Amino acid sequence: MTAGEPAGLAILISGRGSNMQAFIDACSRGDLNARVSVVVSNNPGAAGLERAAQAGIATRCIDHRDYASREDFDRALVDCLDEYPVDLVILAGFMRILTPVFIQPFSGRLLNIHPSLLPKYPGLNTHQRALDAGDPEAGVTVHFVTPELDGGPPVLQAKVPVLAEDNAESLAARVILEEHVIYPLAARWYLEGRLKLEQRGATLDGELLPATGIPYREGLD
């Protein structure tokens, strides 16, 4: 990537690709000086593949069931992305645990979004876990990816209140709206050279970020 030239994004999905669509829209609006080089899914039935194709984006499916191990699958992913211009890899509802075989080649340019206020509730069923714990608020975290599951340094968090009438589905519906705001924002910071993964953790403009990342507020840029 050179100055002024749009960056190349690779987006990995497993389902309908709502965060993928947020990136497509951000690129179209000019909020990101980037274009989506390829959308890759491990799921042949992922609705997001059709959405991406309709937007004129290259799509690939690498079915994890065709591989004997996670490492073999990850090698195929690396080989796939090597065919495209990729400055930043975006995990957008990609429901596979990645191994160092994939993480290492893209270390420092690999972002994920997780539907909890990390370090709370890594893994699955995050909204129900927040409800079961009686938490007054829930939310979402953008973080760098490291070999530790959902354990990479957080970059940005958005919170929503937990309402008395909430169930997991209603809470998820409010949280995902915040996902579509903060994920492209964090990617923009990275593409502008402001956000980096260093040995000491995630930094923004050279300053070490808090252990839970920056709390999102309207107007944050």
Task: Catalogue the active-site residues.
Answer: 114
Rounded Cα distance between 177 and 115, Å, is 11
Q: How many CA atoms lie less than 13 Å away from 207 in the CB half-sphere? A: 5
Letter for the amino acid at 213? Answer: G
3-state secondary structure 67-122: CCCHHHHHHHHHHHHCCCCCCEEEECCCCCCCCHHHHHHHCCCEEEEECCCCCCCC
**Which residue from 71, 76, 85, 107 is spatially nearest to 34, judged by alpha carbons?**
85
Residue whose token pair is 């937007």: 55
